[in-house]
Chain A
Amino acid sequence: MLRELQDAFRRGVLDGDGADACALIASDAIPAERRLAIYRNNTFGSLATVLRAAFPVVCRLVGEPFFRQAAAAFVRTAPPRVPQLLAYGDGFPAFLAGFPPARPLPYLSATASLEWARQEALFAADAVPLGADALAAVPPEAVAGLGFVLHPSARLVASRFPVLRIWQANRPENERVPRVDVNAGGEAVLVLRPDGAVHNHLLSPGDLALLRALGDGAPLAMAAAAAAAAAEPDFDLQGALAGHLTRGTFAGVQAHEERERVW
């Protein structure tokens, strides 16, 4: 009995099919359907608010009414599976890519990906970043064989649109939205929270390839080759590495063979 009731409620709340639930609810001067609708509004309203908090720039790009509609459509397709709403919304960028009403804004999904990367970075595990002096004790010939562990908050977002400029221009705190040429070429972004605040760093194609390869566990020499192959034959490995050590991109290094942290 209870199973049927809970199942009927789910259909009534989520799928808008309230007939079975209403048959189980007392009706009086206020019909059962209107009573059930209170719960439906709570579920959709609260989940839209959760998504709105994680995707403020997407909301600004499309406007509140459109956002609420997109959120409702997403909730119907992919309701939360766990009662931990900080993690709800990871499928929203991909959903937007296939959401027909969003077609006029082809960069919307990429913008959502950047926002989700920031949300994940905000709540990722804390770790002390590897500092600029971390390699001082490593013999120069050994550096090429080292693997670099990305910081737990590090996320990579790459798009054929200038996703960082779009994000910056449409932040909710901007009173006026600067014009962005969405066809000005793609951008790749490293999102990082080495300490309290989340930062965006624009990456060159070579740097993106480097971090992707390091993230996959490749040693530095192999990752650098990948970077050079990614349309940056003159990739400045020294410069890139120094930059990442300053920003806090890495949480540790490991000797490639042993796969053990040496610091």
Chain B
Amino acid sequence: MDTFRPDAIPARTGIGLRHTHMRDFVENPPAVGWIEVHSENYLGRGGPRNRALERIRRDYPMSCHGVGLSLGSCEGLDRDHLARLRTLMDRFQPGLVSEHVSWSVTGGTYLNDLLPLPYTEEALAVICRNVDHAQAALGRRMLVENPSSYVSFPSSTMPEWDFMAEIARRTGCGILLDVNNIHVSAHNHRFDADRYLDGVPLDAVGEIHVAGHFVQRFDTETILIDDHGAPVAEPVWALLRRTLARLGPMPILVEWDTNIPELPVLLAEAAKAEALLDAVRPAEARHVA
């Protein structure tokens, strides 16, 4: 058994904790390495959901993954929202805090989706300013996640991996590498997923995400939709294997957000990821752990 250190996220597989599984976690805590929650789901002032999370938090290292901060908004960050997140961090002391390289707020309206940025110097300056602001307000380093996207902008002047690399270099933040998103965007924008791995600074990566996606047909074309509503696709497992071969052991998170299955299905996906981690762990570490 690993020694449980609540503050650190181990280089093991965790799962995204969803409300439908909270009772399972309270009554019969499953053997997963850690959990990740969507920060915005726990901003209520009180109630049974927060209480259940406090209970679960005692048993697992936890990461807070934000979906509403809108790091790419040119109007800057919502200070009240940042303050609410800070309160949440102080309460749950997560081992990692992450957000997305995307935007969702404009003109004070929250569009509840992770919208794409053009990869320009202007957008880079905006997101770096916002990441600086967030890291200062939260009092800690964050990870930022590469997005999946369905559109590209002719105005972009650099590839996404360069954009990611520059954010990490300028702000000191880390990278949450979502290999499903790389696969989805590589298909949708016809680039080589391995080229992405060449371009992104692997030493900045602090966490990996995997999830399922949906294949939508448009006449003879297909577009991949990042709906987190299916098992992880075979090419994504393959890309994860190649990613781990370069990175070594790393915290991996399995996400499932729509058509959420029974917990055992999610645990089986986590076990697959854990097997890939085992394959890149030196043999002695495996026996000592």
Contact with B along A187-215 (1 / 0, CB 8 A): 00000010011000000000000000000
Shortest A252–chain B CB gap in Å is: 16
B110's partner among A1, A39, A83, A86 (CB-CB below 8 A) is A83
Interface pair B106/A84, CB less than 8 Å apart? no
Contact with B along A1-19 (1 / 0, CB 8 A): 1110111011001100000
Distance of A126 Cα from B68 Cα, bound (Å): 25
Interface pair B74/A38, CB less than 8 Å apart? no
Q: A25-B152, A26-B151, A39-B150 are in contact. Are A79 and B111 (CB under 8 A)?
A: yes
Interface SS of chain A: helix
Is A82 in contact with chain B by the CB < 8 A criterion? Answer: yes
Q: Interface residue count for B (Cβ, 8 Å)?
A: 52
Q: A30-B218, A84-B43, A123-B46 are in contact. Are A79 and B152 (CB under 8 A)?
A: no
Shortest B31–chain A CB gap in Å is: 27
Chain B residues lying within 8 Å of A127, measured Cβ to Cβ, are 46
B122's partner among A2, A7, A26 (CB-CB below 8 A) is A2
**Chain B stretch 193-244: residues in CB contact (< 8 A) with chain A:** 216, 218-221, 223, 225
Interface pair B108/A81, CB less than 8 Å apart? yes
Interface pair B45/A10, CB less than 8 Å apart? no
Is A105 in contact with chain B by the CB < 8 A criterion? Answer: no
Chain B residues lying within 8 Å of A152, measured Cβ to Cβ, are 45-46
B45's partner among A5, A38, A125 (CB-CB below 8 A) is A125
Chain A residues lying within 8 Å of B3, measured Cβ to Cβ, are none
Shortest A84–chain B CB gap in Å is: 5
Chain A residue with Cβ nearest B257: A46
Distance of A85 Cα from B70 Cα, bound (Å): 14
Is B107 in contact with chain A by the CB < 8 A criterion? Answer: yes
Is B73 in contact with chain A by the CB < 8 A criterion? Answer: yes
Interface pair A24/B155, CB less than 8 Å apart? yes
Chain B residues lying within 8 Å of A14, measured Cβ to Cβ, are 109, 111
Contact with B along A24-52 (1 / 0, CB 8 A): 11100110101110110011001100100
Distance of A145 Cα from B113 Cα, bound (Å): 52
Q: Interface residue count for A (Cβ, 8 Å)?
A: 45
Binds A, one of B77-85, B135-143, B265-273: B77-85
Is A124 in contact with chain B by the CB < 8 A criterion? Answer: yes
Interface pair B218/A10, CB less than 8 Å apart? no
Interface pair B223/A30, CB less than 8 Å apart? yes
Chain B residues lying within 8 Å of A80, measured Cβ to Cβ, are 109-110, 112
Interface pair B43/A86, CB less than 8 Å apart? yes
Interface pair B70/A83, CB less than 8 Å apart? yes
Chain B residue with Cβ nearest A127: B46
Chain A residues lying within 8 Å of B264, measured Cβ to Cβ, are none
Chain B residue with Cβ nearest A13: B111
Interface pair B68/A83, CB less than 8 Å apart? yes
**Chain A stretch 73-128: residues in CB contact (< 8 A) with chain B:** 79-86, 122-127
Chain A residues lying within 8 Å of B40, measured Cβ to Cβ, are 83-85
Interface pair A42/B153, CB less than 8 Å apart? no
Interface pair B153/A39, CB less than 8 Å apart? no
Chain B residues lying within 8 Å of A122, measured Cβ to Cβ, are 44, 47-49
Most chain A C-beta atoms within 10 Å of own C-beta, residue among B68, B78, B106: B106
B81's partner among A26, A79, A83 (CB-CB below 8 A) is A83
Q: A6-B74, A47-B112, A83-B67 are in contact. Are A29 and B122 (CB under 8 A)?
A: no
A83's partner among B105, B150, B225 (CB-CB below 8 A) is B105
Shortest A82–chain B CB gap in Å is: 6
Interface pair A79/B110, CB less than 8 Å apart? yes
Distance of A6 Cα from B122 Cα, bound (Å): 13
Contact with B along A126-156 (1 / 0, CB 8 A): 1100000000000000000000000011000
Beyond A3-B74, A80-B112, 16 additional contacts (C-beta under 8 Å) are A1-B120, A1-B155, A25-B151, A29-B220, A34-B218, A35-B223, A38-B223, A46-B112, A79-B110, A80-B109, A84-B40, A122-B44, A122-B49, A125-B46, A126-B51, A127-B46
Q: Which residues of A contact B (CB under 8 A)?
A: 1-3, 5-7, 9-10, 13-14, 24-26, 29-30, 32, 34-36, 38-39, 42-43, 46-47, 50, 79-86, 122-127, 152-153, 193, 196-197
The 23 listed contacts between A and B (C-beta, < 8 Å) are: A2-B74, A2-B118, A6-B73, A9-B115, A14-B109, A25-B153, A26-B154, A30-B221, A32-B151, A35-B223, A38-B150, A39-B151, A42-B112, A47-B112, A50-B112, A83-B67, A84-B40, A123-B49, A124-B44, A126-B45, A126-B46, A126-B47, A127-B46
